[in-house]
């Protein structure tokens, strides 16, 4: 499904109109101006169900995603590090969506979002922190349950049989000391299932991506093994083909670049051109590396 049909970056003439009035001595950079309309000649981008930007570090692929995300006001978790020129830039960008129906656009934008590497890493760290907190609470419960004097005092203490809160307090404490493992499970202080960082990262994508949404994924392969990258490739292909999602992706991963039917922009070429994934320099490096060492396999 194509929700975002095209997006227009700022033209060279429009850039000149903005920058000629600036005091150049005050700025070391005019980012994101002066990146796309000159050597790259990247202006109007026409999208497919799956569109991929591939290029070396500093080629502008992540910048394109952030410009689109900010112009469309997509949901994001991790703040983007803007410059003074970012807002003036996106004000001059344009785009066309699949529909002018306000209700449909509202529902689309409600679930659509940009997902960055920082989002995934922060999620991995938060899962680890929640498990550490639960482990600390479990240790307190086991410490209390092993304290015979405290346990006996709880069981012997008087309570008001007509007061529901008093009864509940007594029952909770009795259960805690009689069967601490059962109590821990009931109280929710059990670890979230233990996954590797890569597995946790992969689950972040499968939980965050819902049917019928527009998703911008900035280098989603980070923290994922080759096996998990292939799993993510199959997942994205299925969500685009069967569940009406549109994906715009920046990546180095040859596995994600092999997504069937993806429209691929080579951000290293001047001007930027679409190409087959097998023609990308990044992929050819992998290919040549293994061909040179094929006798070792």
pLDDT given at position 170: 58
DSSP annotation of 35: S
Does 9 share its domain with 141?
no
Let me know if residue 203 belongs to a domain: no
Give one DSSP letter per residue of 128-197, joined into a string: HHHHHHHHHHHHHHHHHHT-HHHHHHHHHS---TT-HHHHHHHHHHHHHHH-HHHHHHHHT-SPPPP--H
Let me know if residue 281 belongs to a domain: yes
pLDDT given at position 26: 65
* C-alpha triplet 42, 236, 193: angle, nearest 5°: 130
pLDDT given at position 150: 47
Spatial distance between the Cα atoms of 146 and 177, rounded to a whole number of angstroms:
8
Query: Which of 107 and 191 is assigned the larger pLDDT?
Result: 107
Query: Which of 173 and 13 is assigned the larger pLDDT?
Result: 13
Let me know if residue 198 belongs to a domain: no
Does 9 share its domain with 108?
yes
Mean per-residue pLDDT, 145-172: 55
Does 107 share its domain with 216?
yes
Spatial distance between the Cα atoms of 267 and 59, rounded to a whole number of angstroms:
6
Burial class (CB in 10 A: 0-12, 13-18, 19+), 159: middle
* C-alpha triplet 4, 111, 59: angle, nearest 5°: 50
pLDDT exceeding 90 applies to what percent of the chain?
A: 43
Spatial distance between the Cα atoms of 258 and 246, rounded to a whole number of angstroms:
16
Give one DSSP letter per residue of 66-129, joined into a string: HHHHHHHT-B-SSPP---TTHHHHHHT-EEEES---HHHHHHHHHH-EEE-HHHHHHHHHHHHH
Spatial distance between the Cα atoms of 57 and 252, rounded to a whole number of angstroms:
9
pLDDT at 207 over 70: yes
Mark which of 153, 187, 221 sits at the end of a domain.
187
Let me know if residue 290 belongs to a domain: yes
Number of domains in the chain: 2
The HSE-up count of residue 89 (CA atoms within 13 Å, CB side) is 23
DSSP annotation of 3: S
Let me know if residue 214 belongs to a domain: yes
Helix (H, G, I), strand (E, B) or coil at 51: strand
Mean per-residue pLDDT, 26-34: 76
Query: Which of 30 and 107 is assigned the larger pLDDT?
Result: 107
Query: Which of 135 and 33 is assigned the larger pLDDT?
Result: 33
Bridge partners (DSSP) listed for residue 165: none
Does 158 share its domain with 239?
no
Let me know if residue 267 belongs to a domain: yes
Does 13 share its domain with 105?
yes
Comparing 104-108, 181-185, 237-241, 276-280, the range with the smallest average pLDDT is: 181-185
CA 34 to mean position of chain CA atoms: 27
Mean per-residue pLDDT, 12-20: 82
Task: Grade residue 105 by pLDDT with cuts at 50, 70 and 90.
Answer: confident
pLDDT given at position 138: 45
Comparing 155-164, 220-229, 271-280, the range with the smallest average pLDDT is: 155-164
Let me know if residue 196 belongs to a domain: no
Does 28 share its domain with 168?
no
Give the CATH number of the domain where residue 74 resides.
3.40.50
- Out of 52-61, 79-88, 140-149, 208-217, give the one with best mean pLDDT: 208-217
Domain with 243, as residue range(s), is 4-120+210-296
Does 10 share its domain with 111?
yes
Does 161 share its domain with 46?
no
Let me know if residue 270 belongs to a domain: yes
Does 229 share its domain with 290?
yes
Does 93 share its domain with 27?
yes
Does 115 share its domain with 146?
no
Mode of pairing for the β-strands spanning 214-218 and 246-250: parallel
Q: What is the CA radius of gyration of the chain?
A: 27
Question: Do 217 and 247 touch, CB atoms closer than 8 A?
Answer: yes
Does 233 share its domain with 162?
no
pLDDT at 7 over 90: yes
Q: Tell me the pLDDT of the chain averaged across its residues.
A: 81
pLDDT at 258 over 90: yes
Mark which of 135, 156, 187 sits at the end of a domain.
187
């Amino acid at each position: 499904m194509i929700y975002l049909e095209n997006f227009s970056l700022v033209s060279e003439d429009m850039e000149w109109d903005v920058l000629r009035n600036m005091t150049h001595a005050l700025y070391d950079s005019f980012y994101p101006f002066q990146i796309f309309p000159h050597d790259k000649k990247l202006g109007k981008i026409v999208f497919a169900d799956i569109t991929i930007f591939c290029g070396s570090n500093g080629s502008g692929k992540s910048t394109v995603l952030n410009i689109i995300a900010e112009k469309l006001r997509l949901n994001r978790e991790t703040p983007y590090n803007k410059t003074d020129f970012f807002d003036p830039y996106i004000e001059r960008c344009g785009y066309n969506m699949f529909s002018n129906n306000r209700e449909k656009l509202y529902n689309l934008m409600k679930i659509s979002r940009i997902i960055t590497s920082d989002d995934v890493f922060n999620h991995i760290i938060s899962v680890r922190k929640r498990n550490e907190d639960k482990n600390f609470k479990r240790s307190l419960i086991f410490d209390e349950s092993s304290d015979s004097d405290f346990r006996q005092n709880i069981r012997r203490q008087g309570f008001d049989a007509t007061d529901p809160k008093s009864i509940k307090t007594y029952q909770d404490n009795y259960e805690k000391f009689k069967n601490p493992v059962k109590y821990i499970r009931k109280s929710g202080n059990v670890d979230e299932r233990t996954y590797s960082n890569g597995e946790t990262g992969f689950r972040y994508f499968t939980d965050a991506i819902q049917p019928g949404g527009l998703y911008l994924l900035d280098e989603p392969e980070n923290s994922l093994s080759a096996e998990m990258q292939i799993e993510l490739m199959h997942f994205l292909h299925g969500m685009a083909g069967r569940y009406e999602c549109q994906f715009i992706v920046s990546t180095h991963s040859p596995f994600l670049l092999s997504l069937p039917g993806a429209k691929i922009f080579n951000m290293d070429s001047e001007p930027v051109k679409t190409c087959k994934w097998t023609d990308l320099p990044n992929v050819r490096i992998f290919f040549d590396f293994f061909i040179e060492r094929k006798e070792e396999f």
